[in-house]
Structure 1
């Protein structure tokens, strides 16, 4: 009976994830996060520091591997460096703005606008935006002193190496390297051959930078990408984020970014009112169930640290496995993880869960209202297409 159940589960997993790409991605995020948290917490305790020193690095190690998808070493390392620089710069900037409400709110709106605007540029842009938003929240919430900030950034210096070790050595990327450019095999024995090689090299660099197999001028490609940017969703998401800041601030000044983050993830990848409504329903459902699960675990197992650590690891894995493919389940796991982490830090779990639900619902409701008023409808769009035909 156990064998039959295992066989059915394996067959279902193969149907949902035939190449086990999601499984490998979730394993990378989980292992990198656990290693980073372990190293950071051990270092903090050894130097008589609080465990929160490891939080920024652990979150970076959890999120970044999901968006590091390039098979080529150079592109993969470029993305990792971009993520790391964006994360550190945003965390430091949020720390500087933590006590300045107007600048703080403006920074959050700017990140939401740019993140939604650039989502069509690929995983690198989405990953950078997600990391910037999360690190901005951490900077506002932790608002470390200048000395503490230096210690946190110093502790984060090891994180890219851990992520690289996990993502390229322990669980390497899938083999799918692009063929080497032809100019690498040409030996310029003559002036003509040398010129041909130079032209091929320039063309290859242009293709690598723009990401398109095309010989159009770079200005044309950039103009095309400018028009491809998600202008309307970005503007709508920014309006919703502004309303979320106002509503979330009334509920809690320290946790208002939860409402802003909800507006960001609700509009990420959606282009219509119906799509936004579906994301809102899934986010609220995942938040309610995740908050209930975290309260239950903290209440029942609050004095058994190893059980809670195992539940945190499971939450990281579940979030990484489901967030890009089954959104409600991903939200369930990330909500449970947030509750477990705060519970371990000594925060009262029941008021925290209630506040989490209120902030998320506030962000979702203003997002739904903004989408209803400002986003197009799929039925209207389909009618316009039929009218043109």
Structure 2
């Protein structure tokens, strides 16, 4: 499995670039903290700040990424002060932690910036528990964290800003509904409930490391939008933590906090976190767990019992999540997946329209951004249906239905990729067949996204004298796209529990 992870396709080597840049940015932040005489807790806080700045800031433009990173101190420094002041007041400390967790999730309604700032605020509270900070340490922590932001930003936006030459990723869909109909609101309530349960159970296990259970709850909820996604992520969190602890027994424990080899292994873990995160949450958590063990080794508190406690607190957090998403304002996998599919279909229609205009001679029309957006949306569809495709899912009809939908959407994306390339060919002429084919595609999409609309039927191929080869290939792409859209009607409109008819 590890071999497949490191040989998986990496278009434009984005994962490799991200991982290497993270090692460079975090390494620079830590080095500057050490050179400026900061104590070990401040150095660790600075390194984690740089990691979060490089990992969580995902705005669609470099300008917005810079602005979000600049807002990190505004979101995190007051929270760090609050956690430090409340350190010796358990009831207020715990209540504030849950409030920060809920507010951090609720902030996701404001898109990537809200997500990044909410995550940083939560993690600064978490770091205060991790490092057991006292008010006298705040100036040093603030200075190290600010220095880390400057160092990581110098690498990301100056030395190695590869995003300037790339199309921005697709933005998340606008949150639907108001109040409790909004997913971010529901998840904020779920996190508060699950966090409270995890906090109580975690403190029953340990009065010193209870925050691990709350941290588990938080990170399981990140980038999930349904009950099924959250449950699958919880399982993967446990798997990653258990394997990471096992690895820590053979790496972090024998080192006894030796600075040089620990620093090398931490760099390897940072690379692993960034390189594997887009592909596998379990592997990402494996590297995070090993890195946490190494940091505890630097602090001089690591032993086998501490690693065992880490596993127990993770299990407590995962159980709390399962209880919360099952009974507290659940968001079903079907509802979340359907929303992503509907948006993907609308993107298909937009891409087809732009391609049609381009083929008709409109130089201002460009289907390429829509084709790229569709790829990103389909990646989100795959995440959403992952619980249905999981081998442990006992509902075979739902699994087959989800697999059929994903396969047909992938076929749509492949046809549109080809159509986009053909539309860019200035020699490709336009004729009535292409116009009719584009209209049929738009009608097929309308039939799928409009409630109660009649199911479209694939139109017959029009026999005419062959024209330019590009025109013929474009026509074939449009006809194949229409056929895939028509075939989607069966799995999309059938009951999730009903077996699909043989095709």
Question: SS of the residue aligned with 1:269?
Answer: coil
- What residue is the counterpart of 1:94 in the other structure? 83
Distance 1:263 1:141 in 2: 16
Contact 2:26–2:148 (CA<8 Å) still a contact in 1?
no
TM-score if structure 1 supplies the norm length? 0.77
CA displacement, residues 85-125 of structure 1 (integer Å, 9 cap, x when unaligned): 21222211211111122221122111221222233533222
| CA apart distance, 1:10 | 11
Aligned partner (choices 16, 25, 31) of residue 23 of structure 1: 16
- Give the greater-gyration-radius structure (CA): 2
- What residue is the counterpart of 1:345 in the other structure? 299
Distance 1:281 1:10 in 2: 19
Contact 2:84–2:128 (CA<8 Å) still a contact in 1?
yes
2:28 is the alignment partner of 1:35: yes
| CA apart distance, 1:312 | 0.7
- What residue is the counterpart of 2:249 in the other structure? 295
Contact 2:108–2:184 (CA<8 Å) still a contact in 1?
yes
CA displacement, residues 305-344 of structure 1 (integer Å, 9 cap, x when unaligned): 4332211101111112223431000000000000011112
Contact 1:29–1:63 (CA<8 Å) still a contact in 2?
no
The alignment of Structure 1 onto Structure 2 pairs a total of residues equal to 336
Structure 1 stretch 157-166 or stretch 333-342: which is displaced more? 157-166
Structure 1 stretch 231-240 or stretch 144-153: which is displaced more? 144-153
- What residue is the counterpart of 1:378 in the other structure? 333
| CA apart distance, 1:380 | 8.5
Distance 1:137 1:161 in 2: 22
Contact 1:37–1:54 (CA<8 Å) still a contact in 2?
yes
- Map 1:217-228; keep pairs closer than 5 Å: 228=182
- What residue is the counterpart of 1:252 in the other structure? 206
Question: SS of the residue aligned with 2:163?
Answer: coil
Contact 2:253–2:302 (CA<8 Å) still a contact in 1?
no
Distance 2:210 2:100 in 1: 15
CA 1:360 to 1:31, structure 2 compared with 1: closer, same or farther past 3 Å? same
- Map 1:294-373; keep pairs closer than 5 Å: 294-302=248-256, 305-373=259-327
- Map 1:1-389; keep pairs closer than 5 Å: 12-13=7-8, 15=9, 17-44=10-37, 50-70=39-59, 72-176=61-165, 228-302=182-256, 305-374=259-328, 375-378=330-333
Distance 2:5 2:308 in 1: 37
TM-score if structure 2 supplies the norm length? 0.60
CA displacement, residues 171-194 of structure 1 (integer Å, 9 cap, x when unaligned): 113235899xxxxxxxxxxxxxxx
Distance 2:300 2:21 in 1: 29
Contact 1:284–1:360 (CA<8 Å) still a contact in 2?
yes
Distance 1:230 1:222 in 2: 8
CA 1:258 to 1:145, structure 2 compared with 1: closer, same or farther past 3 Å? closer
Distance 1:74 1:378 in 2: 34
CA 1:25 to 1:123, structure 2 compared with 1: closer, same or farther past 3 Å? farther
| CA apart distance, 1:290 | 0.5
| Backbone CA RMSD of aligned residues | 3.1
Contact 1:117–1:233 (CA<8 Å) still a contact in 2?
yes
Higher relative contact order (CA 8 A, sep 6+): 1
Name the one with the larger helix percent: 1
- What residue is the counterpart of 1:207 in the other structure? none
Question: SS of the residue aligned with 1:127?
Answer: helix
